[in-house]
């Protein structure tokens, strides 16, 4: 009996690439998959869609600080902060007015008799001052001011950014800098200051907290922190309020990040802790401003 007219059965093809012949099936959905769509499984192969579906139910591992361990190794925020400070410093070199317009001062008179300060509504000085540094002829520190701060940021920033993740690291840096400005405003509103030192001291405190939490060697950070505290109180012209304010703010926020229990609510609790610290600093500014405004007339 002749079979010349019997229809030929088409070979199976990949469900994602219909033009590719294959005889391998996904062990989960049983669809045919080509070599480009195969993913190794405990038994056989799975397609890319089944692998993605399975990963949705797998909780990604996180660090003690709540950051995903698969986050990019490049410390992007650290580099951006360094670049921002350097660019602002170049602007200072081009125009001394940059320092006068954006340095931290609570309530005082600029050269020429101009009243300026946070109490007069220039609240932005609380933030902008942490990106300014002394100009080469601006005091006893000059160029070493920005060099030390940027070295410290480069030295400990990447490790902290990896432990905290980008948004927590940035929040801690900015709130520590803000905490230094706020303490200066509360205790010495007529004083002026510039520098990222408050934020850097906040990073020192965070490094100490996470070293203690993880059992890492604490000798280097204790020595560095102690040395800088001695310099803070021993050398004239340094705003100890800015340094201590940054240290306390960074320490409190880092403790919240490090010691909040892990679990599905960890991220929400970190956001809440950040908001609470910010609100406390804002409240301190509002109270001090209410005290100063009647005196300013």
Give the active site residues: 197, 243
Task: Tell me the three state secondary structure of residue 75.
Answer: coil
Using an 8 Å Cβ cutoff, are 254 and 205 in contact?
yes
- Using CA atoms, how far residue 163 sits from 27, 153, 250, 258, 271, in Å, is 38, 15, 15, 10, 16
Report the length, in residues, of the chain: 297
- Using CA atoms, how far residue 171 sits from 118, 152, 166, 224, 230, in Å, is 22, 18, 9, 23, 27
Task: Tell me the three state secondary structure of residue 33.
Answer: coil
Residues 6+ apart with CB under 8 A from 99: 92, 132, 135, 138, 194
Report the C-alpha gap between 230 and 65 in whole angstroms.
29
Report the C-alpha gap between 109 and 245 in whole angstroms.
24
């Amino acid at each position: 009996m002749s079979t010349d007219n019997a229809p030929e059965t088409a070979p199976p093809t990949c469900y994602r690439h219909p033009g590719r012949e294959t005889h391998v099936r996904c062990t989960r959905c049983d669809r045919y998959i080509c070599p480009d769509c195969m993913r190794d499984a405990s038994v056989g192969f799975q397609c890319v869609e089944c692998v993605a579906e399975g990963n949705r139910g797998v909780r990604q591992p996180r660090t003690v600080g709540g950051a995903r361990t698969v986050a990019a190794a490049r410390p992007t925020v650290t580099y951006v902060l360094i670049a921002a400070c350097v660019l602002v410093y170049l602007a200072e070199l081009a125009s001394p007015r940059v320092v006068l317009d954006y340095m931290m001062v609570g309530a005082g008179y600029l050269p020429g008799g101009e009243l300026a300060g946070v109490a007069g509504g220039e609240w932005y000085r609380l933030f902008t001052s942490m990106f300014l540094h002394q100009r080469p002829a601006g005091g006893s520190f000059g160029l070493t001011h920005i060099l030390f701060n940027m070295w410290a940021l480069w030295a400990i920033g990447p490790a902290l950014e990896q432990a905290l993740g980008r948004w927590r690291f940035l929040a801690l840096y900015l709130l520590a800098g803000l905490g230094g400005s706020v303490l200066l405003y509360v205790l010495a509103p007529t004083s002026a200051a510039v520098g990222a030192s408050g934020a850097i001291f906040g990073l020192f405190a965070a490094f100490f907290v996470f070293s203690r939490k993880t059992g890492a060697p604490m000798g280097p950070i204790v020595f560095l922190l102690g040395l800088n505290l001695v310099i803070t109180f021993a050398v004239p012209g340094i705003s100890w309020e800015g340094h201590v304010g940054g240290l306390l703010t960074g320490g409190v926020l880092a403790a919240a990040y490090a010691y909040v229990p892990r679990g599905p609510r960890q991220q929400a609790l970190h956001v809440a802790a950040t908001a609470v610290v910010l609100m406390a600093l804002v409240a301190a500014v509002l109270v001090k401003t209410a005290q100063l405004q009647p005196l300013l007339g």
